[in-house]
Structure formats: C-alpha cells, structure tokens
Amino acid sequence: MKPVFGAALFGALLVALSAAPAAAQGPLVDEMKIGVVAHDIGILGDSIESGPDVNLEVLFSPPQIFQLIGSPRPTLGGDINTAGNTDDAYFGLTWGITLIQNMFGSGGSLYADGTLGGAYQDGYINSAPPGRKALGSPVLFHLSADLGYQLTPTISIEAFLEHMSNADLATHNAGITSAGGRIGFKF
C-alpha cells in the first residue's frame, strides 16, 4: 500500500504542476518546496514512530477572492515516511509575512508562513502495533509553520514544523509532529 500512496501523491503533485494557468491570473503554481523532516518528534505527544519523511509541497497563486482573507496561497503537500510508518497527504491555505527585508544584503528577506488545513493519513486508526500510533481517523487537521530566508527571488531555505491530529474528536488522538528543513523554488 505504501508504494501506491507515494505514487498517488507524486502523481497529484505532477498534475497540479502541469495544469495550464489562466491567462488573466498569471502562473497557477507560485512555489514548490521539497525537504526532509524528522517524523514524530514528540512535541505535542509521545514520539513513537520513526524514520525521516520526504516532504513535498506545492503552493498555488491565490485567487483574487482570497484578498478578503489576506491572500493565502492554496496548498497541496505530503510526507512520505522512509521507514514504512505513517504517510500523509495534506491541503490547506498558507498565509505568509515578511519579517525583515534586505537582511543580509539587497534582495534577501526573512519570512514566516503558516498553513491551516486537513490531511489524509494511511496509518492506524483505533489500534496499532508497537512502534505505531493510533491516530483515531484517516482524516485529520493539519497545521504547519515555517521560518525561512529568501536567498534569491526564486530560491528560499526554511525550517519547517508540522502537526496533524484529530483535535480529540475521536477516541484515539495520538497526533504526529514533524520538523526539518526545506528548499523552495518560486515560479
């Protein structure tokens, strides 16, 4: 099941990247990020699962109507666990703010982003073997935050933290928090 989940996630990201942009709106895809995160680090819960995750994320240009809520970018992403533990695919809206412009010379800036959304996970629901978490539901809330530096107009690096859980809406709510680093490519 793991290879199918990873292939489906990769396929969805490729479809999103290859979609033709609307001529009046500019590019459909604003940015793509890739990174490695430590899986289930134990913040907001116990660290039970292991292995690094490969994180992939696509951020789309915000539709004009989103100006009413601060112009967040629609987001699709996912984490593929390299040790065979829980994988996830997520979606949401990402808001960003520039904290310091021209920090280390002209053009570079320090920024922070935050994402609110949902996730689908392929792990255990109500009972799990040792070394695995019972997450209570296949569909979870997904929150993330990153602190990054825009190296060039098209390349950024960032520290990334994400959490998914069912917010105690189910009997089991182990939750998974992951953290790591990513590189971003703007289009």
Query: pLDDT digits over 126-151, tens only?
Result: 999 999 999 999 999 999 999 999 99
Task: Kindly indicate the confidence band of residue 47, based on its pLDDT and cuts at 50, 70 and 90.
Answer: very high
Domains of the chain: 2-19+28-186 (2.40.160.20)
Tell me: pLDDT of 87 over 70: yes
Nearest to 88, CA basis, from 126, 37, 131, 149: 37
Identify the weakest region by mean pLDDT among 13-27, 108-122, 146-160. Answer: 13-27
Nearest to 158, CA basis, from 106, 115, 105, 120: 115
Phi, psi of 11 (to 5 degrees): -60, -40
Given a contact cutoff of 8 angstroms between Cβ atoms, the answer to whether 6 and 14 are in contact is: no
Residue 154's SS3 state is coil
H or E, element range at 30: strand 29-38
